[in-house]
Amino acid sequence: MTERMTEKAMDADLRGIESALLRASQRARERARVTGTRLVFSQNGVLNFVAPECLEPMPQGVADRTGRYGDSE
């Protein structure tokens, strides 16, 4: 779905999907960094591995700015 389609969605879950995915990816990066494990993700069908020392700490309050579940903007 495009951003415009999700903004107009009647379902609150669809309207908040972009911010939910952003929060999840930021938390996964932070957890990998803190635990010293590689971050693994797929991009264009190719698995990518990022060493924990290459991950920067999540800036304070970033997750808070992305919105919360059920918020309407």
pLDDT for the residue numbered 20: 87
Residue 23 lies in a domain: yes
pLDDT for the residue numbered 69: 47
* Sign, Cα dihedral of 45, 51, 54, 58: positive
Q: Is the pLDDT of residue 33 over 70?
A: yes
Residue 69 lies in a domain: no
pLDDT for the residue numbered 47: 96
- pTM score, whole prediction: 0.60
65: burial class by Cβ within 10 Å (0-12, 13-18, 19+)?
Answer: exposed
Q: Which residue has the tokens 């952003």?
A: 22
State which residues form the domain around 38.
3-56
Q: Say which residue, 38 or 5, is predicted with more confidence.
A: 38
The total number of structural domains in the chain stands at 1
pLDDT for the residue numbered 39: 93
Buried residues in 10-25 as b, exposed as e (16+ CB within 10 A): eeeeebbeebeeebee
Of how many residues is the chain composed?
73
Residue 31 lies in a domain: yes
Residue 61 lies in a domain: no
